[in-house]
Structure 1
């Protein structure tokens, strides 16, 4: 299922968007997930993030094979379902049932930033129907789209970690949470009183030790990367990337203190592919190597 397409006067053309992420689960892996007692209830088949997706769109006269969730965190777009066309702006959320004809796309003058996933499973249709009943239809509005975008990001991270049962279960959990967030807070929900900085920091804490780019993080909370960098420096004294390193190092200390994992294994658990680079980073921040940290006298 390739969401990376756009529409022009001649029809669909393939395209990509700078900074995009897109994961397509192999169909054999989807079939295996649908036989698992947990992921059979809800399985994500495709997921992605399209920043400032100029000329992006899809038209499906017969609908899609799976259900869809689309979340707009910036810019504007539109969605047509049957004879009804909906405007979609920041906070706009679309939940489309499988096999229902539809079309959607970004506007030309202010193209949307979109977080999305396709899903199926024995409980998927019930979730879609519940979302429509709770929010009054397939297109709703979230006062604050950042928490749902964060959960879609977690879906993408899980699928990106490998084709495993554990990754599939993690993606299922995040996707289920995203859909229930839409059900609970769509249209008339209270939204969030957290500031953009607080929402960004909360996402980083929730997804650590996985790394989120500044561009993706800024789009979740409706800021430009430069604005987000300035906020972090002003309020926290560090950049978003440095904040993420701090979170990863906190997790590294927990693992060194509380487990017998090797330094190489701790590096992997904190998403450092190179143990030597991890050790250098740890030493730079803590003034001692991971091995020295582990054998330091108790209480220091």
Structure 2
């Protein structure tokens, strides 16, 4: 059901409640279902107030302009390149800035996995705003959701929108934790990616990017789940897999290319990382 009235060139699609109820009882969409989605371009005068919240999670992506939101007891300013995430049941009021009204893409989500997906974003009533680094991808995913629902709300369409919404939330999460261009972590990652043929000392790398060794290690643990050297090893092992799959080079030659002077040590490291030797890895599809 599309709604044509309201802001100029707006798009809104509402999934009828009986279809939502049915979707939340089916596989896949019981975990995540889009119930409403739309776009409000340059939405001057836009304002929404829900003193008791709603029984769905709200995702609003601000593509341009400015807006504001009062979530719980705190008022927040919302600029472009950011998203407002309001968990279910949280009282809220939001609207467009009077002088520079926002353009927003938005959707409402329901399902058993929504709360867990939102939790990974580390949003809360006190901190409901998250950055969007790749706005074009977020808008493309929301446009896909709206366009799909405009075509219909049959079970297959709703599965498609669930997939796009899942990708949207996970992409926002990636944008939140991954470093921006020029950030010390980004520079360190690029440095490591360019030096797969040698080992790296953490103090020297930290000095190069302008942070302490402990801070650099903490940054890597937050984003990758491991330390600097573990990340570097994962890159070297990924390169080893590529070479084993795509070239006839011997294990000794591959070890040398990756900066391992001792092929046996390389093989032990590879086996520890992959659970099989380089030779076994190369032959895994021959059986």
- Shorter-chain-normalised TM-score: which range? 0.5 to 0.7
Pair 65,3 (structure 1): closer, same or farther in 2 beyond 3 Å: farther
Report the counterpart of residue 113 of structure 2 in structure 1.
123
Pair 71,133 (structure 1): closer, same or farther in 2 beyond 3 Å: closer
Whole-angstrom CA distance in 2 between matches of 1:184 and 1:102: 26
The aligned runs of 1:285-296 (5 Å cut-off) are: none
1:185 aligns with 2:178: no
Q: C-alpha root-mean-square deviation of aligned residues, in Å?
A: 2.4
Whole-angstrom CA distance in 2 between matches of 1:20 and 1:27: 22
Q: Report deviation, 1:143.
A: 2.7
Match for residue 63 of structure 1 among 36, 44, 53? 53
1:167 aligns with 2:142: no
| Secondary structure at 1:132 match in 2 | coil
Q: Report deviation, 1:67.
A: 0.4
Match for residue 111 of structure 1 among 82, 88, 101? 101
User: How does the TM-score come out when normalised to structure 2?
Assistant: 0.59
1:153 aligns with 2:152: no
What is the number of equivalent residue pairs in this alignment?
Answer: 181
Which of 1 and 2 has greater Rg? 2
Whole-angstrom CA distance in 2 between matches of 1:101 and 1:61: 5
Match for residue 20 of structure 2 among 25, 30, 35? 30
Q: Report deviation, 1:59.
A: 1.1
- Name stretches of at least 5 consecutive residues in structure 2 with no aligned partner: 183-287
Whole-angstrom CA distance in 2 between matches of 1:114 and 1:191: 23
Whole-angstrom CA distance in 2 between matches of 1:192 and 1:32: 44
Q: Are the aligned partners of 1:81 and 1:102 in contact in 2 as well (CA < 8 Å)? A: yes
Pair 130,72 (structure 1): closer, same or farther in 2 beyond 3 Å: same
Whole-angstrom CA distance in 1 between matches of 2:2 and 2:127: 25
Name segments (4+ residues, structure 1) moved above 6 Å: 1-4
Whole-angstrom CA distance in 2 between matches of 1:58 and 1:140: 20
Q: Report deviation, 1:192.
A: 8.2
User: How does the TM-score come out when normalised to structure 1?
Assistant: 0.56
Q: Report deviation, 1:133.
A: 5.4
Q: Are the aligned partners of 2:51 and 2:92 in contact in 1 as well (CA < 8 Å)? A: yes
Q: Are the aligned partners of 1:143 and 1:189 in contact in 2 as well (CA < 8 Å)? A: no
- CA deviations 1:167-198 (Å, max 9, x no partner) are 00000000010011111112x534689xxxxx
The aligned runs of 1:1-300 (5 Å cut-off) are: 16-132=6-122, 137-186=127-176, 188-190=177-179
